[in-house]
């Protein structure tokens, strides 16, 4: 041990005095990545689309901000000190970090400058539609190209430098300033929603203080106020030694119950108020997110618990929507009992259960990839049948079914998006409750066992046929509720609402949110459905955003935003498992027998 | 009448006859070891008995009921449980959940009673948990307490083997099939497990069939030893009889050079 330690000390000293040259090469590599991402952002039209929005009144248009935020992020990444390993002193940020940040930024700026030169000298627009003269004007800050190139380099280097500078801030400052800046950006991005919020709670004066007008950009004063207010908040919170959670856990049991009840009441009141305060647009977005959330909770059972990758999940959503439409709409082509939606729900459930059994039966002996492909086929079959001329006398073909009546419960009629928020929310709560109740039950365990190892589950007494059928049926019923609410809220159903993209979106929600975790699925639905819809310019790039997010998540956080505890462990336990192994066998040595046993 | 009565059992994979006309029986309360060189068909034999694979020919009678053609979960329901040579737990489930799955075939509660949290469901859940904890306590302090909520993948190798036995015990079996229970264990752990196999019979009343390579273990626990080679039963008898049998020695070590020419 002694001879191993001596060189370790030497290495540590070297690391501290002069960071290894590798650091700079990494900065160059990140810079090259940056020089690909920045022009890409311009070429896909994101810079151009957002250029029309001002973040802060007289300057800072959003398009350029996004562009140079990329440089900033790469600067931050390039200057990030390496993880402090055991036996090493923590790395201290120095001029070298600043250099790395600036380097990563300036290389990205060079990429952008090259794009600018190319697009002004050659006619690239035939290939890249978005490379318009306006974009050239934006990228060059309105200057002639020879003057703009050094400016772009300088701005990009400054952005990278600023990113690197973050590492120089003490932790508490960083944790106050960064969220402060983030909130400025949020206020600026969602200016009309923030305005609506203040109007809703009767504080229109705040809007006129912060913004140039309702829905307008932030004023300089407004930006400063928002920044200072939120930074102060986070500064105050950062000063506390314990998190809220820890303090809550430390409370005696009866106080905890009281707090929990209080919190639950507060949440219900807030949720009740949301549609009233936030107005129809936000309510519509949240309704939409809620319907996707219902589907995601259903797929979470099928995929997250039972491990059955269903790529045709939209079929169940369609079954719910069409069953409800046929039973409630007076314009249903073949059969029109004109039930109320509430009376139709039991039939929707039955239809969904039957659909679940129809899909599950042929795939009972299938696993993994095969199951995914077959279900993909089912999803498409459902859409094509609904769209077909052959079944048009029953389902209305491409014209769909219109005039679906509003939801009516007793004397209450639900008409506007604000009204629908409550029933959708109720169904989401029911679905979440079912998910949690089932997880801790005999069948929940059987599903998980099947997910882990199907043959062993069967050998341990789990009836695979029943387990698969029941998972599909429960998942189908939850999705069908989503479909019924969707149809009733929109007032009509058309086959083209049920294409494969819906299945994929629901899948992305649970992957990004955290498979098998209810809070994760909620966050996933909000982040992937509500966010892109709230930011109108953004919806054009929704799928680009999904793609980038998916890749980033798989690289950095494969277990999702809020993973279920077990999944987090599962994907990050390699080292722990190794330690446990050494602990048991470290002294005796695992020997040949162990090696044989593992093989 | 034997508890397990196997007649003319055969199974081929392509041209390879993994099990060839095997006859064998196990009396209630016995501990029978199945030994044989690698590739002798021991694990295939277990797979055929537990329904994880279907035989080409032959009968497997368990208490006069033919098991051929039944699904593994039905066979488990009749009282046959097994462990696996290459430990197959449910890795992302906790220790307690792994064992609770074992009770699946012995309980009835459905999805609706879980959703409505009926008193019967609550009672059954409590029973399942109590049963699982009781079974885990069989292994002393190794799998109890904070271990209950640990993911099974976090366990040490020996504990995974123990957990697999616990999971099989939770299914309330009458006949337990153990596939190389001591593989990969160090001598101390092997000794402990040998004693444990004895307790499985004396305290739990299981009849046990085990596949084993460690001859110490075979000698210490078995009432009877069955030797397989190339899917055929070479011989059976007490450990002493089998270990001096010329055919067995040849199967393991090969024929002496001068005789093989």
Same-domain pairing of A467 and A576: no
**Among A48, A37, A34, CA closest to A129:** A48
| Cβ atoms of A66 and A50 closer than 8 Å | yes
Residue A314: inside a domain: yes
Handedness of CA A34, A36, A40, A43 (dihedral sign): positive
Which chain B residues are Cβ-neighbours of A581 within 8 angstroms?
156-157
pLDDT in tens, A477-518: 999 999 999 999 999 999 999 989 999 999 999 999 988 889
CB contact under 8 A, A442 and B114: yes
- Chain B nearest CA to A295, separation (Å): 18
Contacts of A433 in chain B (CB under 8 A): 115
pLDDT recorded at residue A549: 87
pLDDT of residue A594 exceeding 50, the answer is no
Parallel, antiparallel or unpaired: strands A54-56 and B80-82: unpaired
Give percent of chain A above pLDDT 70: 88
Number of domains in chain A: 3
Q: B120 contacts in A (CB within 8 Å)?
A: none
Residue A12's pLDDT band (cuts 50, 70, 90):
very low
Would you state the pLDDT for residue A326? 94
- The arrangement of secondary structure in B4-79+173-260, i.e. its CATH architecture, is 3-Layer(aba) Sandwich (3.40)
Mean pLDDT computed over every residue of chain A: 84
Q: What is the pLDDT of residue A86?
A: 58
What integer pLDDT is reported at residue A577 of this predicted model? 47
CB contact under 8 A, A593 and B186: yes
Give A570's pLDDT tier (boundaries 50, 70, 90).
Answer: low
d(CA B73, CA B67): 11
Q: What is the pLDDT of residue A11?
A: 46
C-alpha closest to that of A476 among A511, A494, A510, A503:
A503
* DSSP codes of every residue in A341-366: HHHHHHHHHHHHHHHHHHHHGGGTT-
Residues of chain B falling short of pLDDT 70? 256-261
Q: How far is A42 from A51, CA to CA, in rounded Å?
A: 11
Model confidence over A218-277: pLDDT tens digits? 888 888 999 999 999 988 887 776 677 777 777 788 888 888 889 989 988 888 888 888
User: Are B176 and B208 spatial neighbours (Cβ–Cβ below 8 Å)?
Assistant: yes
Give the tens place of pLDDT for each residue, A473-482: 999 999 999 9
Q: For residue range A308-324, list pLDDT tens digits in order.
A: 999 999 999 999 999 99
| Structural Rg of chain A based on CA atoms | 28
Contact across the interface for A461 and B117, Cβ inside 8 Å: no
8 A C-beta contact, residue A549 and residue A305: no
Last-in-domain residue among A453, A476, A499: A499
Final residue of a structural domain among A146, A168, A190: A168
Order of strands, sheet of B65-66, starting from the edge strand that comes earlier in the sequence: B16-26, B4-13, B57-62, B65-66
Judge whether B177 and B210 are in contact, CB under 8 Å: yes
**Tens of pLDDT, residues A68-110:** 999 999 999 988 877 666 556 666 777 888 899 999 999 999 9
Q: Are A33 and A137 part of one and the same domain? A: yes
Whether pLDDT at A449 is above 50: yes
- Across the interface, do A459 and B82 touch by the CB < 8 Å criterion? yes
What local confidence, expressed as pLDDT, does residue A368 receive? 77
Which residue in chain A is spatially nearest to B77 when comparing CA positions? A461
On whether both A24 and A133 belong to a single domain, the answer is: yes
- pLDDT of amino acid A88: 63
Could you give the CA distance from residue B222 to residue B210 in angstroms, rounded to a whole number? 9
User: Which of A448, A461, A598 is facing B90, going by the closest CB pair?
Assistant: A448
Assess whether A595 and A468 both reside in one domain.
Answer: no
Question: d(Cα B115, Cα A75) in Å, to the nearest integer?
Answer: 51
3-state SS assignment for residue A478: helix
- Stated as kind and residue range, the H or E segment containing A591 is helix A591-598
ipTM, interface predicted TM-score of the complex? 0.93
Q: Torsion over CA of A136, A140, A145 and A146, rounded to 10 degrees?
A: -160
The predicted pLDDT at position A412 comes to 84
Q: How close A561 gets to chain B, by Cα (Å)?
A: 19
In a domain, A515, yes or no: no
What confidence score (pLDDT) does residue A575 get?
44
* 3 state DSSP class of A213: coil
Q: Is position A544 within any domain?
A: no
CA distance B59 to B76: 17
Lowest mean pLDDT of A49-58, A138-147, A369-378, name the range.
A49-58
Task: Evaluate whether residue A83 is within a structural domain.
Answer: yes
The pairing of strands B65-66 and A412-414 is unpaired
Question: How does strand A412-414 pair with strand A407-409?
Answer: antiparallel
More confident residue, A440 or A215: A440
Same domain? For A9 and A101 the reply is yes
Whether A319 and A411 map to the same domain: the answer is yes
Let me know whether A292 and A407 are in one domain.
Answer: yes
Chain A residues whose beta carbon lies within 8 Å of the beta carbon of residue B185: 593, 597
Say if CB B59 and CB B68 are below 8 A apart.
Answer: yes
Q: Exposed (0-12), middle (13-18) or buried (19+): which is A466, by Cβ within 10 Å? A: middle
- Is the CB of A474 less than 8 angstroms away from the CB of B71? no
Torsion of CA B34, B37, B39, B41, to 10 degrees: -20
* Helix, coil or strand: residue B240: helix
Determine which helix (DSSP H) or strand (DSSP E) holds B229, and give its type and residue range.
strand B224-229
Is residue A597's pLDDT more than 50? no
For B112, the closest chain A residue by CA position comes to A438
Tell me the residue range of the domain where A383 lies. Answer: 280-499
Domain boundary among A168, A188, A212: A168
Residue A201 covered by a domain = no
In A435-501 the beta strands, taken as DSSP E runs, fall at none
Contacts of residue A457 in chain B, CB cutoff 8 Å?
A: 90, 101
Same domain, A145 and A290: no
């Amino acid at each position: 041990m002694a001879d191993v330690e001596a060189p370790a000390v030497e290495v540590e000293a070297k690391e501290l005095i002069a960071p290894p040259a590798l650091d700079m090469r990494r900065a160059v590599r990140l810079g090259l990545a940056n020089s690909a991402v920045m022009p890409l952002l311009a070429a896909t039209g994101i810079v151009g689309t957002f250029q029309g929005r001002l973040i802060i009144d007289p300057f800072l248009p959003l398009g350029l901000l996004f562009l140079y935020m990329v440089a900033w992020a790469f600067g931050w990444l390039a200057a990030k000190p390496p993880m402090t390993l055991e036996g090493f002193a923590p790395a201290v940020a120095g001029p070298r970090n600043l250099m790395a940040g600036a380097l990563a930024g300036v290389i990205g700026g060079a990429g952008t400058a090259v794009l600018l030169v190319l697009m002004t000298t050659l006619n690239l627009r035939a290939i890249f539609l978005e490379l318009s003269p306006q974009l050239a004007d934006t990228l060059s800050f309105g200057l002639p190209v020879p003057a703009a190139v050094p400016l772009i380099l300088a701005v990009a280097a400054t952005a990278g430098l600023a990113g690197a500078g973050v590492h120089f801030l003490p932790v508490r400052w960083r944790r106050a300033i960064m969220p402060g800046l983030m909130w400025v950006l949020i206020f600026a991005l969602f200016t009309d929603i923030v305005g609506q919020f203040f109007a809703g709670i009767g504080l229109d004066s705040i809007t006129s203080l912060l913004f140039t007008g309702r829905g307008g950009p932030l004023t300089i004063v407004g930006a400063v106020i928002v920044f200072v207010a939120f930074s102060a908040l986070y500064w105050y919170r950062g000063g506390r030694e314990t998190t809220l959670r820890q303090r809550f856990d430390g409370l005696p049991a009866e106080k905890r119950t009281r707090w929990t009840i209080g919190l639950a009441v507060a949440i219900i009141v807030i949720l009740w108020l949301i549609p009233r305060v936030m107005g129809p647009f936000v309510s519509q977005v949240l309704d939409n997110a809620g319907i996707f959330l219902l589907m995601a909770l259903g797929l979470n059972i099928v995929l997250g618990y039972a491990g059955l990758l269903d790529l045709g999940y939209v079929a169940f959503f369609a079954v719910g929507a069409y069953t409800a439409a046929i039973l409630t709409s007076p314009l249903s082509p073949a059969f029109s009992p004109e039930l109320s939606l509430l009376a139709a729900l039991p039939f929707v459930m039955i239809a969904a259960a039957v659909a679940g059994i129809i899909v599950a039966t042929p795939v009972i002996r299938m696993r993994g990839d095969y199951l995914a492909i077959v279900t993909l086929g089912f999803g498409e079959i459902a859409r094509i049948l609904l769209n077909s001329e052959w079944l048009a006398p029953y389902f209305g073909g491409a014209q769909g079914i219109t005039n679906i009546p509003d939801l009516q419960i007793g004397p209450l009629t639900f008409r506007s998006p604000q009204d629908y928020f409550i029933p959708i929310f109720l169904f989401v709560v029911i679905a979440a409750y079912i998910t949690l109740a089932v997880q801790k039950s005999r069948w929940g365990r059987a599903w998980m066992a099947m997910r882990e190892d199907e043959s062993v589950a069967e050998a341990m007494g789990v009836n695979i046929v029943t387990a698969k059928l029941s998972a599909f049926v429960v998942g189908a019923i939850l999705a069908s509720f989503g479909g019924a609410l969707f149809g009733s809220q929109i007032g009509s159903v058309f086959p083209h609402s049920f294409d494969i993209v819906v299945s994929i979106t629901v899948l992305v929600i649970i992957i990004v949110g955290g498979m098998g975790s209810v809070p994760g699925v909620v966050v996933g639905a909000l982040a992937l459905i509500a966010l892109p819809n709230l930011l109108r310019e953004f919806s054009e790039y929704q799928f680009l955003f999904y793609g980038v997010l998916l890749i980033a998540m798989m690289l950095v956080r494969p277990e999702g935003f809020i993973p279920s505890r077990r999944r987090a462990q599962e994907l990050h336990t390699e080292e722990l498992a190794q330690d446990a192994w050494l602990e048991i066998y470290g002294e005796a040595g695992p020997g040949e027998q162990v090696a044989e046993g593992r093989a | 009448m034997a508890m397990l009565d196997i007649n003319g059992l055969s199974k081929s994979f392509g041209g390879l006859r993994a099990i060839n006309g095997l006859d064998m029986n196990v009396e209630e309360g016995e501990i029978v070891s199945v030994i044989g060189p690698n590739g002798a068909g021991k694990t295939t034999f277990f797979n055929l008995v537990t329904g994880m694979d279907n035989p080409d020919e032959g009968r497997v009678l368990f208490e006069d009921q033919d098991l051929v053609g039944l699904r593994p979960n039905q066979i488990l329901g009749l009282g046959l449980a097994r462990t696996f040579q290459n430990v197959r737990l449910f890795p992302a489930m906790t220790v307690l959940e792994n064992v609770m799955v074992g009770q699946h075939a012995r309980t009835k509660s459905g999805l609706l009673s879980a959703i409505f949290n009926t008193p019967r469901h609550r009672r059954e859940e409590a029973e399942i948990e109590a049963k699982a904890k009781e079974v885990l306590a069989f292994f002393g302090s190794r799998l109890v307490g904070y271990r209950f909520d640990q993911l099974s993948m976090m366990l040490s190798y020996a504990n995974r083997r123990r957990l697999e036995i616990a999971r099989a015990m939770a299914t309330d079996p009458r006949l337990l099939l153990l596939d190389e229970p001591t593989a990969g264990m160090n001598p101390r752990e092997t000794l402990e497990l040998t004693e444990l196999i004895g307790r499985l019979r004396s305290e739990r009343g299981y009849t046990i069939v085990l596949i084993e390579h460690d001859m110490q273990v075979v000698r210490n626990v078995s009432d009877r030893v069955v030797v397989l080679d190339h899917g055929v039963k070479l011989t059976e008898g007490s450990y002493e009889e089998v270990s001096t049998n010329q055919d067995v020695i040849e199967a393991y070590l090969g024929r002496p050079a001068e005789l093989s020419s």
